[in-house]
Amino acid sequence: MKNLYTCSRVVEMTTTTIQAGTKVVITDADGVEHLVEALSGIEQKGHSFPIVWVNRPMRSGDFEPTPWPAEAVRMVSDG
């Protein structure tokens, strides 16, 4: 049953327009949301599951390009 949910979620995500430069919200393993910039659109090829490359902020103040599971990425709403 979990695979069916994952598949439907992936289909939903591919209808959005995430691309490099898009402001997105990522959810980490603790359920905390972070506003970041996407460095790519949703990628599947070469990965076990769909990912989006994001510019993850580090404690040092720098940023690190990080692959993030697409199911934990959403576009920032305009409203």
For 31-49, write each residue's pLDDT tens digit.
999 999 999 999 988 889 9
- Name the residue with tokens 């934990």: 72
- Smallest CA-to-CA distance from 37 within 61, 58, 18 is with 18
pTM (2 decimals)? 0.72
Q: Is 38 within 8 Å of 24 (Cβ atoms)? A: yes
- On the question of pLDDT at 10 being above 50, the answer is no
Span 2-75 CATH architecture:
Roll (2.30)
CA distances from 18 to 13, 22, 38, 52, 66 (A): 9, 6, 7, 8, 15
Q: Which two tokens stand for residue 36?
A: 């970041």
